[in-house]
Structure 1
């Protein structure tokens, strides 16, 4: 059994998605185009994926939870590596590494079945 239930994962999704969108301005890296685009794009992707996932927090419930978790895991790895992939690691990297590792952790530590489907 995985320690994060899907209802908690949903709350985390919407919270981290919004925070990642706001992070360039909150954390002072909005002037770096690549870092800002990764943060805002990832935040939007997290919110859209969440809205369409079949779990307690989903609005449309079209994407299976297992698919959502796979996307979270892969996305987490990509966001973690993004400062080096897109060349902004000398300017800023810790927000992307932190959010990426949290996304990866959420993807690997969340159960696959929403309570209403259990």
Structure 2
């Protein structure tokens, strides 16, 4: 069931950027964990700004490619947090949760107009 519209997805993307950007300060992420969090904030921001969705700015990246990236990032974050405990230390729970959140948003997002939406007619 796809209940997250593209507009809502854009809002959630910008919220995700803010969470990754603020996590080192708010949650006390340090070292490699802080670097990863800042990098993910920057990458997610650029991808969101460039995606062809209501809250995208330049609309270069198709929504389906955006979906593919999120489909990969969520599980990779989750697995990396489990597999790399020595690198992330006691800060890995943040990445476990964010991996689950990104995966859940991917599962619930429509990534395009709803199936029952009228399609534009070609002329």
TM-score (norm 1): 0.86
1:37 corresponds in structure 2 to: 35
The change in CA–CA distance for 1:6 and 1:70 in structure 2 (over 3 A counts) is same
1:114/1:18 Cα in 2 relative to 1: closer, same or farther (>3 Å)? farther
The question of whether the paired residues in 2 share the 8 Å contact of 1:38 and 1:79 is answered with no
Q: Superposition pairs for residues 10-89 of structure 1, below 5 Å?
A: 10-30=10-30, 33-83=31-81, 84-85=83-84, 87-89=86-88
Moved more, 73-82 or 57-66: 73-82
CA distance, structure 2, for counterparts of residue 46 and residue 86 of structure 1:
23
Question: Displacement, 1:86?
Answer: 6.8
Alpha-carbon contact 2:20-2:37 (below 8 Å) kept: yes
Q: Tell me, which stretches of 5 or more residues in structure 2 are unaligned?
A: none
2:93 corresponds to 1:98: no
Distance in 1 between residues matched to 2:51 and 2:113, nearest whole Å: 10
Larger Rg: 2
Q: Which 5+ residue runs of structure 1 have no aligned equivalent? A: none
Aligned-residue offset at 1:113: 1.1
* Residues 1:7 and 2:7 are matched in the alignment: yes
Q: Given the two structures, how large is their TM-score scaled by the length of structure 2? A: 0.83
